[in-house]
Amino acid sequence: MNHNVTKMPVDFDPVRMLRLVSRTFALGIEQLPDELREPITIAYLMLRVSDYLEDNEVMEPELKVELLHVWVDVMRDEAPVEALTSRLDDSDPEDAEAEVARNADAVLKRLHDLPGEVQEHILGEVIQSTLGMARWQARGPVIPTEDDLDDYMFEVAGRVGLMLTRIFGWYARPIEDLGEELMPLAREFGLALQTVNIVRNMREDFERGWIFAPESFCKRAGLTRQDLFRPDNVDRALEVVGMLADKAERHSRMALAYVKMIPGRYHRIRLFCLWPLLFAMRTLAISRGNSNVLENEAKISREDVMRIIADTKSWDGSYGWLDTYLESLKTG
């Protein structure tokens, strides 16, 4: 019996929801080929349900763990969707991510309209990612080493890279044929973007009780993680920011290799992958050595976003141009 197929609200619009929770990601999705636009929109919204439960600033960790497992049961069709949505009635009506979670039934209805193979690719990784989030919420904000950080980032971002690669392969046989080579790079792609997210949101994460900079990084700078945000430790804290930025760049080199492996005939898929990578590299450029990153979210300007999109839309496939352009974002 399928618990999850419920009547979809007539006003539910996945494109509208996508734009509410991520305008920049929406730009990439909306220029994809028609056959990919709906699956990747729905996959993204399902992940936002999980993100909402994990990042919620009101829920206690124990409740987050419980609801993440409820969401997994719903996705596995082992519980009705109301087992989750009925627990979210008090969520902030102005919170876009909360709205996505409250409409999990409509998101699932759209999922079940997709081809079976695509459903499997989405559900497989969203379920595993959600279980990984629950494991980390139960474990708590203790990240001793870079390996621990990579474990967390794989669950919340690396798996997204694997899922997208499988969906691309479903759409295009030449991409599927490259799967063995693309999959390790897809993981690195996810880690690159998530490391930049950690730099970008350092202050916000700290205020909700999480410091993602590994203890080993802080120790190399002569700090404890608890002292990272003290005003008298700015110089040493920026050393830690630099270590995270270096790490992001190492992963980004593998992410760029991923983009280059996608056959040129799939230009719109390459742009979809390329834009968040370039946005991330520009974010790193404004974060390195900038003490403001310890006090506020690091964000690139809308002008930067639109310039990157305009510049790359005319990319002729030259890897030399792409390498040079990426370097220019780090300095210009």
> 2-16, 58-72, 119-133, 216-230 — which is least confidently predicted?
2-16
Distance CA 309, CA 314 (A): 9
Q: What is the DSSP string of 294-306?
A: GTS-----HHHHH
Which DSSP state fits 293?
Answer: G
pLDDT tens profile 290-321: 898 999 888 899 999 999 999 998 888 899 99
**pLDDT at residue 2, rounded to an integer:** 42
Residue 225 pLDDT class (50, 70, 90 cuts): confident
**Mean pLDDT value of segment 98-103:** 93
**Mean pLDDT value of segment 145-156:** 98
> 89-93, 103-107, 166-170 — which is least confidently predicted?
89-93
Distance CA 221, CA 135 (A): 29
Distance CA 220, CA 171 (A): 46
Instruction: Tell me: pLDDT of 175 over 60.
Output: yes
Q: Which residue, 136, 185, 193, is CA-closest to 162?
A: 185
Query: What percent of the chain has a predicted confidence (pLDDT) above 90?
Result: 82
For all residues of the chain together, what is the average pLDDT? 92
Residue 125 pLDDT class (50, 70, 90 cuts): very high
Distance CA 109, CA 97 (A): 18
Q: Which residue, 253, 244, 160, is CA-closest to 202?
A: 244
**pLDDT at residue 282, rounded to an integer:** 94
Q: Which residue, 174, 254, 240, is CA-closest to 206?
A: 240
**pLDDT at residue 332, rounded to an integer:** 64
**pLDDT at residue 163, rounded to an integer:** 98
**Mean pLDDT value of segment 27-31:** 93
Amino acid at 171: Y
Q: Where are the beta strands (DSSP E) in the chain?
A: none
> Is the entire prediction scored with pTM above 0.85?
yes
Instruction: Tell me: pLDDT of 9 over 70.
Output: no
**pLDDT at residue 133, rounded to an integer:** 98
Instruction: Tell me: pLDDT of 94 over 90.
Output: no
- E strand or H helix at 251: helix 234-261
Which structural domains are found in the chain, ordered by start?
Answer: 9-139 (1.10.600.10), 141-332 (1.10.600.10)
**pLDDT at residue 7, rounded to an integer:** 37
**Mean pLDDT value of segment 47-60:** 93
Instruction: Tell me: pLDDT of 223 over 90.
Output: yes
Alpha-carbon distances, residue 329 vs 116, 304, 305, 311, 322 (angstroms): 40, 9, 11, 12, 11
| Alpha carbon 11 to chain centroid, angstroms | 26
Amino acid at 39: P
Alpha-carbon distances, residue 263 vs 82, 193, 269 (angstroms): 43, 22, 9
Distance CA 197, CA 149 (A): 13
**Mean pLDDT value of segment 133-160:** 97
Instruction: Tell me: pLDDT of 257 over 90.
Output: yes
**pLDDT at residue 5, rounded to an integer:** 38
Residue 85 pLDDT class (50, 70, 90 cuts): very high
**Mean pLDDT value of segment 131-148:** 96
Q: Which residue, 183, 75, 83, is CA-closest to 129?
A: 75
**Mean pLDDT value of segment 38-67:** 95
